[in-house]
Amino acid sequence: MNPAMLPADDGAARTLVAGVGNIFLSDDGFGVETVRQLAAETLPADVEAVDIGVRGVHLAYQLLDGYDTCILVDATMRGGEPGTLYLIEAGPGDTGIEEATPQVPVLDGHRMSPDSVLALLGTLCAGTGTSPPRRILVVGCEPADLAEGVGLSAPVAAAVPEAVRLVLRVLRDEEQDRQKDRLACGAGPRTAERTAVNSGQE
């Protein structure tokens, strides 16, 4: 099902949900697959679901474009059982995110961890005088297999629908908070909805 795309309210706080990872490294494709399934859902009009894939530098620059919230979805090693989901609050300069693949130089445009993206974002914000998103979250999944190959392992594939529900729950909570703020300021609730997804693998 492909829900109709409707224009967003230009004055609304915007959220970017970015699927990060390499689909040719087995479970590293978790973020891309999660965002693909998320795109089949009806999302609030101010939410963009984007397959970033391995384009980390592109993501850092895109985050300069006035987003209020960013949700990064990626395979993340934190020592749990394969398929375990994590919701991590992060920010520019945060070094608490353990990426599933080996660390690479910050300016490697073909593969950057969330840590590297946030570090580059902080540098870009300092250099341009812009502000990063108010809130940055990582929805991570413990991988079972990062060998070359296409397709997720069984436990990670099984975690994808729950990851979609987790992202939707975060989006719903964010929207409820914004609705409360708008009502407190005398503005009415917004009802427009849309879905957006782009391809990020090169």
Residue-range definition of the domain harbouring residue 22: 14-95+107-187
Residue 160 pLDDT > 60, yes or no? yes
For 28-41, b/e burial (b = at least 16 CB within 10 A) is bbbbbbbbbebbeb
Position 5 in a domain = no
Does some domain include residue 102? no
State yes or no: pLDDT of 162 exceeds 80.
yes
CA 179 to CA 177: how far, in whole Å?
5
3 assigned to some structural domain: no
Question: DSSP letter at 37?
Answer: H
Read off the pLDDT of each residue in 158-176 and give the average, rounded to a whole number.
Answer: 94
Tell whether 161 is covered by a domain: yes
In a domain, 195, yes or no: no
Answer yes or no: is pLDDT of 110 > 50.
no
Q: Residue 76 has what DSSP assignment? A: B
In this predicted model, what pLDDT tens digit does every residue of 20-67 receive, in sequence order?
A: 999 999 999 999 999 999 999 999 889 999 999 888 888 888 888 889
Q: What is the CATH number of the domain that holds 180?
A: 3.40.50.1450
Among 6, 14, 13, 66, smallest CA distance to 187 is for 13
Q: What is the mean pLDDT of the chain?
A: 80
Q: What is the pTM of this model?
A: 0.75
Contact between 72 and 118 under an 8 Å Cβ cutoff? The reply is: no
Number of domains making up the chain: 1
